């Protein structure tokens, strides 16, 4: 039924997350252990180049309904539906916000049905805005006892680049870039992050939806740059409006029916096609023994390639098509330079088994930045069952003749090796020829080469996450934990 946008709320302990809904005003409060954690803001829609808002009578709430059901995986649920009427000069449709409570999960989900009419714009919003708003929550300190912190996964390399933490109150700038944004995690600082924890995350349509902060309101919906929200949109729609534009391309590409071209940015993308699946992956797998394919530069693809920013189905569709290709030739995929939304999208793409979770190693050896600090980004990877990859490392401190300038140096090769092993991802020496310290590297494995990994990736401990947030987002050190079975 229609476009369904989910936001998942999850808590770590006790089944005591409750929502109370004002059936007249459509406001909703979410409480945990009888303390209010979230109060809603308004519902809104940008269509026909203008805003319709629930709080100024352009998107009035006309009805509420209560329904119940069962999900084969998640169990029983009940749902309050808030029905708004969208009247565009006589073209009438219902916009339904649904708040679902789960019987056996300490979670709430929010869904938005955008109704049985196409919702188009000519003047598009920015990719960092959203064009439907539901749900939305105030970022606020509820009362004097309320002392909550947050951290959020944000940025390239799963979130490594822009992950940040702080206090949950109205002046906090929590979402600094919508496209790069990801799950937001809230916790009680009085309990040093050990008590209740809430994770707010998109739950489906990861590539087409976004989150955004306007003043002190955290809001979720369809990305602002999407032209059309189709009628009765369901996962996996077609992209028949895209035609190949063969001018000026190499012969191989010219044969394809489905090459997308962005003339403004001079970029193109093969999509839903056999070039990727058969020619590239099959040949490489058969002829060159390819076992894993790395898809790099995902951040540029999502932020610069106009078709992916304006067509609601396309980004997911092309990711799914690479996955089908990998399925066909039985190879796995590693994502690189991905935003958190890609991490979430891999829930539908089992061929993605690993992803880069730190910036390039050069930043460490040339600029002396900590690049091994993967304790937060690995939390996200691990939650999604993707092995975190730290990037390469030098096994020797000084490696003359390297391409990096001016004076690259690895102060602690052992630390690099230990983190790579404990990451559970690839362990990949990237030394200058003749500078590999094989004695050091082989400490990671048995004599037959089997790398001795822990049961789960090494990640930051809760207490330090709490300190990070309490101290205005300045990390108070790195303290990690993991668990091996011997
Ligand atoms: C939400 O909480 C506020 C108090 O902070 C209260 O005034 C309001 O009635 C509550 N709304 C609902 C729907 O429970
Ligand atoms: C509707 O709500 C938004 C967000 O709280 C606010 O900025 C705006 O002023 C409100 N509009 C009206 C007409 O109350
Ligand atoms: C819209 O919602 C109203 C109120 O619940 C209902 O009477 C009407 O049938 C709905 N219209 C459509 C097209 O679903
Ligand atoms: C809806 O489900 C929640 C969670 O199971 C439960 O606490 C609540 O009582 C239910 N509401 C109604 C009206 O049945
Ligand atoms: C959309 O869904 C409604 C209700 O299920 C159905 O009556 C209608 O035919 C659908 N429209 C399209 C274009 O699929
Ligand atoms: C696919 O690859 C995996 C890992 O290399 C291998 O274990 C498996 O047997 C392969 N399956 C097929 C059908 O070739
Ligand atoms: C590596 O060492 C070998 C043996 O000393 C030498 O022949 C070769 O030229 C060296 N390669 C490079 C790139 O320095």
Q: Percentage of the chain with pLDDT > 70? A: 89
Q: Are residues 221 and 254 in the same domain?
A: no
Round to whole Å and give the CA distance between 437 and 423: 20
Query: Where among 321, 356, 391 does a domain terminate?
Result: 356
Q: Are residues 266 and 203 in the same domain?
A: no
Residues 351 and 380 in one domain: no
Mean pLDDT of 216-238: 77
Same domain, 176 and 224: yes
Provide the whole-model pTM.
0.91
Number of folded domains that form the chain: 3
- Mark whether 160 and 180 lie in a shared domain: yes
Asked whether 288 lines ligand 7 (CB < 6 A), one says no
Claim to verify: residue 191 and residue 264 sit in the same structural domain? no
Pair 214, 259 in one domain: no
Domain boundary among 330, 356, 382: 356
**Residue ranges lining ligand 5, Cβ < 6 Å:** 116, 231-232
CA of 124 to the centre of ligand 2 (A): 21
Which domain, by its residues, includes 314? 244-356
Closest to 298 measured CA to CA, from 350, 339, 343, 359: 339
Nearest atom in ligand 4 to the alpha carbon of residue 103 is 5
What φ, ψ does residue 25 adopt, rounded to 5°?
-90, -15
Question: How much distance in Å is there from the Cα of 109 to the middle of ligand 6?
Answer: 37
Q: Say yes or no: 345 and 379 in one domain.
A: no
Same domain, 15 and 99: yes
* Ligand 1 centroid distance, CA of 21 (Å): 8
Residue 237 lies in a domain: no
Tell me, yes or no, whether 339 and 430 share the same domain: no
Pocket probe for ligand 1: among 20, 31, 34, the residue whose CB has the most ligand atoms within 8 Å is: 20
Predicted confidence at residue 285, as pLDDT, reads 79
Last residue of a domain, one of 356, 376, 407: 356
| Ligand 1 pocket residue status of 39, Cβ below 6 Å | yes
Pair 72, 206 in one domain: yes
Ligand nearest to the CA of 117: 5
Q: Quick: pLDDT tens for 64-111.
A: 999 999 999 889 999 999 999 999 999 999 999 999 999 988 889 999
Strands 35-39 and 28-32: antiparallel
Shared domain for 57 and 109, answered yes or no, is yes
Q: In this predicted model, what pLDDT tens digit does every residue of 261-317 receive, in sequence order? A: 888 888 888 765 555 666 667 777 778 888 999 999 999 988 999 999 999 988 998
Half-sphere CA count of 7, side-chain side, radius 13 A: 26
Residue 199 has pLDDT above 80, yes or no: yes
- How far, in Å, CA of 308 to CA of 310, rounded? 6
13 assigned to some structural domain: yes
């Amino acid at each position: 039924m229609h476009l369904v946008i989910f936001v998942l709320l999850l808590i770590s302990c006790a089944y005591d997350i409750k929502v109370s809904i004002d059936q007249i005003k459509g406001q909703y409060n979410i409480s945990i252990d009888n303390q209010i954690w979230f109060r809603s803001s308004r519902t809104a829609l940008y269509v026909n180049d203008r805003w319709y808002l629930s709080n100024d009578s352009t998107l009035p709430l006309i009805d509420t309904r209560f329904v119940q059901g069962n999900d084969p995986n998640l169990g029983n649920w009940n749902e309050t539906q808030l029905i708004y009427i969208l009247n565009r000069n006589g073209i009438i449709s219902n916009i339904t916000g649904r708040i679902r409570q789960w019987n056996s999960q300490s979670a709430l989900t929010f869904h938005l049905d955008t109704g049985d009419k196409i919702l188009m714009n000519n003047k598009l919003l920015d990719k960092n805005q959203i064009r439907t708003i539901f749900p939305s929550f105030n970022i606020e300190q509820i009362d004097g006892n309320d002392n909550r912190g947050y951290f959020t996964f944000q940025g390239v390399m799963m979130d490594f680049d822009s992950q940040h933490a702080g206090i949950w109150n109205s002046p906090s700038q929590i979402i600094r870039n919508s496209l790069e944004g990801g799950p937001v995690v809230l916790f009680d600082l009085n309990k040093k992050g050990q008590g209740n924890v809430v994770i707010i995350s998109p739950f489906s349509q990861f590539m087409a939806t976004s989150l955004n902060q306007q003043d002190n309101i955290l809001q979720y919906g369809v990305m602002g740059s999407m032209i059309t929200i189709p009628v009765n949109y369901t996962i996996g729609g077609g992209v028949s409006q895209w035609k190949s534009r063969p001018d000026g391309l190499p012969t191989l590409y010219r044969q394809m029916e489905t090459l997308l071209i962005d003339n403004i940015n001079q970029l193109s993308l093969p999509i839903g096609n056999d070039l990727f699946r058969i020619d590239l992956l099959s040949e490489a797998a058969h002829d060159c023994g390819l076992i894993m394919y790395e898809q790099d530069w995902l951040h540029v693809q999502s932020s610069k390639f106009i078709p992916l920013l304006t067509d609601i189905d396309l980004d997911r569709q092309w990711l799914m098509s690479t996955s089908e290709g990998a399925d066909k030739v039985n190879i796995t995929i590693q994502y690189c330079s991905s935003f958190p939304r890609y991490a979430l999208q891999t829930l539908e793409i089992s061929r993605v088994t690993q992803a880069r979770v730190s910036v390039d190693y050069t930043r460490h050896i040339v600029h002396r930045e900590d690049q091994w600090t993967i304790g937060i980004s690995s939390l996200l990877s691990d939650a999604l069952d993707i092995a975190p990859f730290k990037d390469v490392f030098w096994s020797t401190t000084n490696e003359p003749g390297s391409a990096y300038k001016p004076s690259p140096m690895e102060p602690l090769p052992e630390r690099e090796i230990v983190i790579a092993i404990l990451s559970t991802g690839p362990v990949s020496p990237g030394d200058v020829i003749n500078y590999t310290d094989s004695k050091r590297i082989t400490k990671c494995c048995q004599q037959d080469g089997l790398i001795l990994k822990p049961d789960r990736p090494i990640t930051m401990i809760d207490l330090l996450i709490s300190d990070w947030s309490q101290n205005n987002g300045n990390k108070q050190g790195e303290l990690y934990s993991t668990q091996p079975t011997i």
